[in-house]
Amino acid sequence: MATARNPSPYSDGYWWSGDGVRLHYRDYPGPADKPPILCLPGLTRNVRDFEAVAARLSPDWRVIAVELRGRGESGYAKDPMTYVPLAYLQDVERLIDELKLERIVAFGTSLGGILTMLLAATGRPPLAAALLNDVGPELGKAGLERIRGYVGKPAQYPTWMHAARALAEANGDVYPTYGVEDWLAMAKRLHRLTSAGRIVLDYDMKIAEPFRVPGNEAGVDMWRALDAMKDVPTLIVRGERSDILAADVAERMTQRLDRAELVTVADTGHAPTLDEPAVEAAIDRLLARVPAA
């Protein structure tokens, strides 16, 4: 189907987790002689975060945007303690197996970047290239506390403009150059319209329960996971104002990886949207380094 907001066609796909949760992804068409781009979203985000990426890259590349359990059209978990990276990883691995993906390019934003590093550590399937969006093996404490302060708190609005204004008030320092149209677009990525006509956040509020327990952000030594990407062409994107990925951590990442490029997005916090001109140019450079199958 095609939508007004996203001119690139996609099909909706579904798969089942090991504990019986029905999960959703969008599949944008692309050639079979290139590894597909697997897009993995942040903690409270969904497939709509990658609409602009997919619209630009498909049909030159197949783009698969994943919706993690408890978000968007994916089912909510019965046990909220499964809202942790290792459970998400198992879900993604089942999708990879179901789609028989032998090699992938992984784009991971925040939590999705943690999953990208974990996928690299498993080696299943091999990464042809990777993009880590505003995340690394060490997460800024101030940023984690900020996220813990808002995640899982329900909110509802009578109009999209009300939702946009609330986002602007809460995130003005993250995207200081945003105008009304930008905040409206973000509101429509983050929220959904209920049958009662109210606008609410599009995720299960219970995802906050394990996240509020220190150490559950990743659960393993992420520097060792990053080391598995040593020979993988990697683009590290960092928001200049980020409180999650510190500048020194990003530099250490580039030093640790043999084939990494770091791009810093000016006047942006956590996290860049990947449609910034500098990031789009860097993505093109990254993909140019991916050999055909």
Q: Is the pLDDT of residue 6 over 50?
A: no
In sequence order, the 6+-apart residues with CB closer than 8 A to the CB of 175 are: 182, 267, 268, 269
CATH number of the CATH domain containing 107: 3.40.50.1820
pLDDT of amino acid 292 = 74
Residue 234: inside a domain: yes
Please check whether residue 14 is in contact with residue 23, taking contact to mean a CB–CB distance below 8 angstroms: yes
- Beta strand segments in 75-219, E: 104-109, 127-133, 156-157, 191-193, 199-201
Whether the per-residue pLDDT at 217 is higher than 60: the answer is no
Is 169 inside any structural domain? no
- Is residue 129 assigned to a domain? yes
In sequence order, what are the residues at sequence separation of 6 or more whose Cβ sits closer than 8 angstroms to the Cβ of residue 49? 39, 41, 42, 65, 109, 189, 273
| Per-residue tokens: 20 | 């019986």
> Interior CA angle at 36 toward 49 and 98, to 5°?
95
Residue entry with tokens 């609330």: 166
Query: Is residue 7 pLDDT above 80, yes or no?
Result: no
Sign of the dihedral through C-alpha 22, 25, 27, 33: negative
Say how many domains are in the chain: 1
Residue with tokens 């390019």: 105
Tell me if 192 is assigned to some domain.
no
Residue 218, domain member (yes or no): yes
Q: By residue range, what is the domain housing residue 273?
A: 11-151+206-288
- Which pTM does this prediction carry? 0.94
| pLDDT tens, residue by residue, 92-149 | 999 999 999 999 999 999 999 999 999 999 998 999 999 999 999 999 999 999 999 9
For residue 215, the model assigns a pLDDT of: 58
Model pLDDT for residues 148-180, shown as the tens digit of each residue: 999 999 999 999 999 999 999 999 999 999 999
Residue with tokens 């860097």: 282
